[in-house]
Structures are given as C-alpha cells and as structure tokens.
C-alpha cells in the first residue's frame, strides 16, 4: 500500500507540474499577449496623409567614424529647406515625398522581441542615446513632425533581415520578388517587430538637393573662355583694402556656331594649328557633371544681397540713406569674399571680381552666359565641406609648423566657387530680318503698252527669225530684214519684264513675310525663356558660395598647349629616308653602253641614208624583206605579176622623198665652216641632227 501511495503522489505531482508548464506556455504565447495582438496593425494609425508633415529628420551613426550624423528638412508650406545646412533649399523633393510616403500606414508583420535586452541583437538601439556603447548596434531614427512640432511618426529602423522569404502576388503567375524586411520599433516602445519596408535613408547633404550645379546640356555650349591669372596687390583698393589686379596668364577663347560644327580658337594659325577636340570635350564634361559638395551663405545686408549678378550695388534704400552703414556693409562683404578666395579688383566705378585660381566663362545657345570664379581650398572633411565650422579647431594645428596650414591649399583640395549668370542675346544668333518688297521699275519716257496686233507681229517676227537662221543666201536674209515690222523700244520690253518680276516677287514676299513673323516670334520666345532661366539660376546662385570637387578642376584651368595641337601639312611626310647604296655588276667591255634618247635619235638619222643606198643597190635577204600589210596577208592566191609590181612600187617609195636629201646639199655648201662636235666627238652626228630639225620645220 505504501508503494502504491507513493506512485499516486508522483503521478499527481507530475500532472500538476505539467499543467503549470502548459499554463505558462499558453500565457506567454505572442498571439495571446498584448504585443501579439498588435501584429497586422499600423504603428501610427493617426498618420494618414503626408501633406501635414512639416519637418523630417534622420539620425544615424557613421559606421566608419562612429560619429553621430543628423540631417533634417523643414517646410514652410511652399518650400522645403535644410536647417542643418544654412537653410539651403531641399531640391530633392522626390526623395522627401518618397521617404514620407514609405512610412505612411506602416504595419507590424511579426513580433521579434519583447524588451530592451534584445535591442542590440536586432540593431534598434536609439542613435541619440547618450549611453550608447556599441555604435554598430544603433539603428537609423526617422522622425516626421507637424506644424506644431508634434511627432507624426518616430521610428528606429534596425538590421535588415537577410533570411526574408520570397513573396508572391495574388496571381500564381506573378514574378517572384524578394521583400526587404527590417527589424523596427517605435522610439517610445520596447517591442520589436518584423516589417516590410522600401526606404533609403541618408544623412548626406548631396542626396537631398539637386547636385547638378550648373544645369546645362553639353551640346548647348557654344563659347568657352578660360582666363588663367594670379592676383597681384597694388596699393589701396576702392574700400580701403589692398587694390588687386590680375597677373595675366593664358587666355583661351573657344567658339563654335553649333554643336554639329568644329571648335575654333581665337589667335591660332588655322594653317599650322588646330583645336584639340578631346580636351574641349573633357572641359564640357566637367561643366556638365559639376556637382555640389557643400555650400556657404554669402553676406547680406539686413537680409538682402548687396551686389547684383553683374557686380553692381543693389538698390537698397537703407544703404543710400546711411553712407557709413553702407560702407561698413561693403567692407563686411569684402572680408567674406576674402575668406573664400575672392576679392574686388579694378576701381570703385568699375568693380571687377577676381579669384585666387582664375575664372572660366562660357555661353550657351539659350542665351545664358555663365561666369565661374575659382577660390581657395576647403578642408577635406565632410562636415567642414558641407556645413562649415564656426570656430577653427586649433587643437589639430601646430602653430610652429607652417606646413600644417599649407596642406589645406593643395591642388587636390576641394575649392570654393562663385557663380554668376547673365543673359546675352547675341548668343541666340542673328535676329530674323524682315523681307522687303522689290521696288517697282522706273517707267521709261514715252512708254506705251504693246497693242494686240503688235504682239502678234512680234511673235511672228520671232518665228521668222528662227526659220531664217539657217539660210545661206545673204541677199535673201537682207530682203527678209526689210520686210520685218518695226521693233518696239527695248526699254519698253525690259520695263514690262521687270513689272512681271515684281508681281512674282510680291507672291514670294507674302510667304517670306509669314515665315519671318513665325521666326521672329520664336526668337522672342527664346529671349523670354532665356531671361526666365537666368532669374531662376541667379535665385539659386545669388545667396551661396559653392564647394566643388577638385578631382577635375585642372581641366577647367587648361593652358594653351593643352587645347591646341599642331597640324600635319599634306606635304609634310616626316624626315627623308636615305636611299640604299646599290651596286651593279660590271658589264663586259664593248658589249653594251648606256646612251641618252637624244643620242639614239641622232644615230638613227645617221644610219637612215646608208640604209636607203643599200636598199637601192643590193638585194635584201629574204629575212630582211619588208613584210606585207595586214590586208595583204590573207591574199595568198594573188597573181605573181601583181605581187612583183607591188614589191617594186614599195622599193621605189624612198626615191620619191627627194626633198629630204636637201640638207645634204646644205652640208656640202657649208663644208668650209667649222663643224660642231657632239659629246661623242663626231661632226657627222651633229649634221644629221641638224638635218632632222630642218626636216621637221
């Protein structure tokens, strides 16, 4: 009995423990807990429209430096600005809208963690936490607020879930896509959930603005002017500071009529020099792709710019009323310029902006003329470049080491840029000219229009003249001329032809006038569009110094030898190649000689008479008998007598050339004269040559 009692006790105890375990498991099921009930519900059900958002802030820890990065944008209802960067306009409106919409109606998908002890595991530690120990465990915090500053959403986004399962649409044939899932929690909650999210959070300034600084198209650029110079001080300037002038270097002025034509440069020899197109394309590429790295605000007088884009004093009534106040404001402006590597040159009446690293000017076919002034170097640190530093960090600079400061002004450092834009109508080309009607011809004195009968006679006369053109009898032509009716005054006819031409020109003038009106209206539209673009760009450039990357800055500072190349002339084949030294084998003596064509001709003339005499006295061998002509070759059955007669006739032909023997008589007559010798020393050859010349004459 005791053993059975013990067994029953053990069974009861095990059952109780089992029931307790089951109860504990049931009580801790996520689906039954308060957190489990939240799965499938939105984090912020009250946030239903992005239009109520007036500010957006992103906070994160830089993984490389471990420093806290904060970036924010604010809106006044019309324009988003970046308060962390001097209220620069947040031109990346698409990013702002996309970021706001991506967290609108965001729902919890599955419970991942219940308490703070799991924050590090999921990477959802608050980056703004003061007691942050491990920067890698911090997430990205995104906060949207309304116009009253109350949070609309406040999330901490943690690690991306790499083992997220693929998802499929409602249709079985939908393409399978891989969802991006993250661990995420509300900043005021300790429960972590899995969430599907498509968002790209960035604390980089250039990601929230339009980084394209100049907003140009490469084919539109038709003029480029590079002005390389150094600043030189000469006494006091217009506002008390040193007067600055340019120590001029290379000046390059490039132009082309259109994008389809070649670049030319002022001052080069078109025969021996040409523009290097690859270098010009590099310059255009730098201008087209120039991006904003950072910004600094320009000095303002009571919120207004002192200078216009063409360096004229702005019309500010307060400055006109108080000259001393105006002077102090201009001096403050000059100090601001000098801090960035710019200053005023020239005189007070003709101000000129000069810069430490030269300037570049270019014009576009839209009438925009840009002027870029390149200033001094900027410290190569992201925070300093983007937002600047209010106080110089003296702890990092050794006052006894002058090289420490010079390192900041190396050629590879980013630099300040001062940008101005003006409208120049000449860049649009020539304005269309209105066509003019041709002036009517002057009526000749005594003009009478032709009568119908006279017109018929005139046409008949024209027909008669055409028929009589080929007649050979001069008397018949004379008689026909007498029978012709009286011709009208040629001036009358010319006047009538001119009237016809004017009538025809009137019709063409109407078409040309219509075309002119259309082209003129299009030209006026180009002017309006160009001026509108200039106003928009000056509103963008007017308040700011820009920081640009120095990676391609040397391209903008090209020198003459970089842009101009020598032209290879057609006749310039390079250095002459020396002829090889050739030798010929010696010829047996007396076998062959080289003689000029003239000597050969003389020898032929000398031998010719001897051949005639031998032909008349001696009988030629069969091999030397003249061959029959092509026509006589097939006639082999001709009578022998006829063949002998033809042969005798051919033999007697040289005897008929009696005049050719005359030079021999002259030779006999002039035998007393001294004979001229040839190069071979034979007087007979020279006589034969002279006789040949006489025959030819």
- Helices and strands, counts by H and E, the chain: 18, 23
User: To which H or E segment does residue 478 belong?
Assistant: helix 474-483
Confidence at residue 340, expressed as pLDDT on a 0 to 100 scale: 92
Which structure tokens are listed for 562?
């970089």
**All residues at 6 or more sequence positions from 38 whose CB lies less than 8 Å from its CB, including other chains:** 108, 111, 191, 193
236's tokens: 């006091």
Model pTM score: 0.64
d(CA 60, CA 202): 9
Where the chain has pLDDT below 50, the residues are 1, 22, 25-32, 167-177, 390-409, 462, 471, 574-596, 600, 607-638, 650-697
Residue burial 261-274, b: 16+ Cβ < 10 Å; e: rest = eebebeebeeeeeb
Helix 683-696 with 597-617: angle, nearest 10 deg: 90
pLDDT at 34: 72
Taking a C-beta distance cutoff of 8 angstroms, is the pair 365, 222 a contact?
Answer: yes
CA distance 282 to 277: 9
Tell me if residue 430 falls in helix, strand or coil: coil
Burial class (CB in 10 A: 0-12, 13-18, 19+), 682: middle
Could you tell me the two tokens for 69?
A: 């990065």
Distances (CA, A) of 670 to 125, 392, 667, 674, 694: 132, 117, 5, 9, 15
Q: What is the pLDDT of residue 675?
A: 45
The span from the CA of 175 to the CA of 645, in Å, is 110
* Alpha carbon distance 177, 154 (integer Å): 28
pLDDT score for 18: 57
Give the pLDDT of residue 236. 62
What's the pLDDT at 64? 83
- Bridge pairing between strands 264-265 and 242-255: antiparallel
The secondary structure of the chain in percent helix, strand, coil, rounded to multiples of 5, reads 40, 20, 40
Looking at residue 553, what is its pLDDT? Answer: 83
Cα 36 from Cα 191, distance rounded (Å): 10
Distance between start and end Cα atoms, the chain: 169
- Return the CA Rg of the chain: 52
Q: 499: number of CA atoms within 13 Å, CB side?
A: 10
How much is the pLDDT for 468?
A: 54
Distance CA 134, CA 495 (A): 103
Q: Which pLDDT value is given to residue 646?
A: 55
| pLDDT for position 570 | 64
Torsion over CA: 241, 243, 247, 251 (sign) = positive
At residue 456, the pLDDT reads 53
Q: Residue 216's CB: how many other CB atoms inside 10 A?
A: 19
In angstroms, the CA 188 to CA 122 distance is 16
C-alpha pair distances (Å), 254 with each of 267, 274, 300, 504, 605: 10, 11, 36, 45, 71
């Amino acid at each position: 009995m005791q053993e059975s009692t013990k067994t029953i006790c053990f069974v009861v105890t095990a059952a109780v423990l089992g029931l307790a375990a089951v109860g504990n498991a049931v009580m801790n099921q996520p689906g039954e807990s308060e957190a489990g009930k939240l799965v499938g519900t939105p984090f912020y059900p009250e946030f239903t429209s992005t239009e109520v958002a007036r500010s957006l802030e992103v906070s994160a820890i830089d993984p490389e430096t471990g420093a806290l990065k904060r970036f924010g944008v604010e809106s006044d209802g019309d324009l988003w600005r970046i308060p962390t960067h001097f209220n620069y306009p947040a031109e990346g409106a698409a990013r702002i809208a996309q970021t706001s919409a991506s967290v609108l109606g965001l729902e919890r998908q599955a419970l991942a963690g219940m308490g703070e002890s799991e924050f590090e595991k999921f990477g959802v530690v608050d980056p703004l936490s003061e007691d942050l120990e491990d920067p890698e465990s911090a997430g990205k915090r995104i906060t949207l607020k309304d116009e009253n500053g109350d949070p609309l959403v406040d999330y901490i986004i943690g690690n991306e879930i790499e083992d997220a399962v693929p998802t499929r649409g409602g249709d079985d044939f939908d393409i399978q896509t891989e969802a991006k899932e993250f661990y995420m929690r509300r900043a005021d909650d300790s429960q972590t959930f899995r969430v599907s999210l498509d968002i790209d959070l960035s604390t980089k300034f250039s990601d929230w603005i339009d980084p394209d600084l100049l907003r140009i198209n490469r084919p539109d650029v038709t003029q480029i002017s590079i002005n390389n110079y150094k600043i030189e001080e000469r006494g006091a300037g217009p506002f008390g500071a040193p007067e600055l002038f340019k120590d001029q270097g290379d000046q390059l002025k490039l132009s082309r009529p259109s994008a389809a034509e070649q670049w030319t440069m002022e001052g080069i020899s078109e025969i021996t020099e040409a523009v290097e197109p690859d270098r010009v394309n590099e310059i255009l590429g730098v201008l087209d792709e120039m991006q904003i790295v950072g910004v600094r605000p320009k000095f303002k007088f009571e919120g207004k710019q002192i200078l216009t884009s063409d360096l004229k004093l702005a019309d500010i009534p307060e400055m006109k009323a108080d000259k001393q106040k105006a002077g102090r404001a201009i001096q403050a402006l000059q100090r601001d310029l000098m801090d960035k590597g710019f200053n005023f040159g020239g005189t007070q009446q003709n101000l000129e902006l000069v810069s430490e690293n030269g300037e570049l000017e270019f014009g576009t076919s839209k009438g925009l003329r840009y002027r870029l002034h390149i200033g001094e170097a900027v410290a190569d640190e992201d925070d300093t470049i983007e937002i600047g530093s209010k106080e110089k960090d003296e702890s990092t600079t050794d006052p006894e080491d002058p090289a420490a400061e010079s390192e900041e002004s190396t050629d590879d450092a980013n630099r300040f840029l001062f940008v101005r834009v003006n409208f120049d109508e000449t860049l649009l080309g020539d304005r269309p000219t209105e066509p003019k009607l041709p002036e009517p011809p002057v009526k000749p004195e005594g003009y009478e229009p032709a009568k119908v009968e006279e017109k018929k006679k005139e046409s008949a006369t024209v027909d008669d003249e055409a028929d009589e053109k080929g007649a050979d009898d001069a008397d018949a032509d004379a008689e026909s001329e007498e029978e012709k009716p009286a011709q009208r005054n040629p001036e009358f006819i010319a006047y009538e032809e001119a009237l016809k031409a004017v009538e025809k020109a009137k019709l063409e003038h109407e078409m040309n006038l219509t075309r002119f009106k259309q082209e003129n209206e299009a030209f006026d539209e180009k002017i309006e569009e160009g001026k509108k673009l200039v106003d928009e760009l000056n509103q963008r450039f007017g308040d700011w110094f820009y920081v640009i990357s120095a990676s391609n800055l040397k391209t903008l500072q090209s020198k003459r030898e970089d842009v101009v190349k020598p032209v290879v002339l057609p006749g310039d084949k390079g250095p002459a190649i020396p002829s090889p030294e050739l030798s010929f084998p010696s010829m047996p003596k007396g076998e062959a000689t080289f003689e000029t064509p003239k000597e050969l001709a003389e020898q032929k003339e000398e031998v010719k008479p001897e051949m005639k005499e031998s032909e008349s006295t001696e009988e030629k061998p069969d091999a030397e008998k003249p061959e029959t002509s092509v026509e006589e070759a097939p006639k082999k059955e001709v009578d022998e007598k006829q063949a002998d007669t033809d042969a005798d006739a051919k033999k007697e032909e040289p005897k008929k050339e009696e005049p050719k023997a005359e030079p021999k008589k002259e030779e006999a007559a002039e035998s007393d004269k001294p004979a001229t010798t040839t190069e071979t020393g034979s007087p007979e050859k020279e006589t034969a040559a002279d006789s040949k010349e006489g025959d030819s004459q």
